């Protein structure tokens, strides 16, 4: 936790304890205790500032995700154009029996390609030639544990506190 926020939290807790010592009836009136603390502590405002900042960051991250998707699509189209243009030159050089061009921007050479693998039936490949990835299916494990089943190598954690943020 941020040291400054941690200090504010400690100060807020100390103010709460002091208020409850001075006014013990506030223990039965949580709204009044909270309102009083909100009026004399910087802690709620510091938390609000962090939440607003996190919401701004979330908005930026979502915008960047959309922009990255658009840019990836554009990149893919450009890469397709590169391949098509280079294939056109390759086919034309083959048809004209030309082996090389020396241009100021690049040297283009028609060379014999190398052999590459074509997988005709992936299921028929021996295990030595495939990568098998073992990955836990956590949703299924959780369902089994929730149902009371024993799943060796897995357990349910204790629930951790979390915050809920509703905008507007």
Reported pTM = 0.62
Q: Is 101 helix (H, G, I), strand (E, B) or coil?
A: strand
pLDDT at 79: 97
Among candidates 35, 38, 43, 40, which has minimal Cα distance to 9?
43
pLDDT at 90: 96
* Distance (Å) of CA 159 to CA 156, 162, 164: 9, 9, 15
Domain extents in the chain: 42-146
105 secondary structure, DSSP code: S
Do residues 40 and 15 lie in contact, with contact meaning Cβ atoms separated by under 8 Å? yes
By the 10 Å C-beta count (0-12 exposed, 13-18 middle, 19+ buried), 141 is classed as middle
Q: What is the pLDDT along the chain (168 residues), one digit of tens a residue?
A: 677 899 999 999 999 999 999 999 999 999 999 999 999 999 999 999 999 999 999 999 999 999 999 999 999 999 999 999 999 999 999 999 999 999 999 999 999 989 999 999 999 999 999 998 999 999 999 999 999 999 999 999 999 988 888 887
* Backbone conformation region of residue 67, classed left if phi is above 0, alpha if psi is from -120 to 50, else beta: alpha
pLDDT at 1: 60
């Amino acid at each position: 936790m941020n040291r400054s926020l941690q200090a504010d939290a400690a100060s807020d807790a100390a103010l709460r304890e002091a208020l409850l010592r001075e006014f013990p009836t506030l223990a039965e009136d949580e709204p009044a205790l909270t309102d009083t603390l909100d009026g004399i502590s910087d802690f709620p405002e510091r938390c609000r500032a962090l939440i607003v900042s996190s919401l701004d960051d979330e908005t930026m991250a979502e915008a960047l995700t959309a922009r990255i998707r658009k840019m990836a699509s554009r990149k893919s189209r450009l890469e397709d154009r590169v391949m098509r243009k280079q294939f056109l030159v390759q086919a034309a050089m083959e048809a004209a029996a030309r082996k090389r061009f020396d241009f100021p921007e690049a040297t283009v050479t028609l060379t014999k390609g190398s052999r590459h693998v074509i997988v005709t039936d992936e299921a028929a490949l021996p295990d030595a030639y495939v990568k098998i990835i073992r990955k836990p299916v956590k949703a299924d494990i959780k369902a089994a544990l929730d149902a009371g089943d024993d799943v060796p190598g897995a357990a349910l954690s204790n629930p951790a506190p979390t915050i809920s943020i509703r905008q507007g």
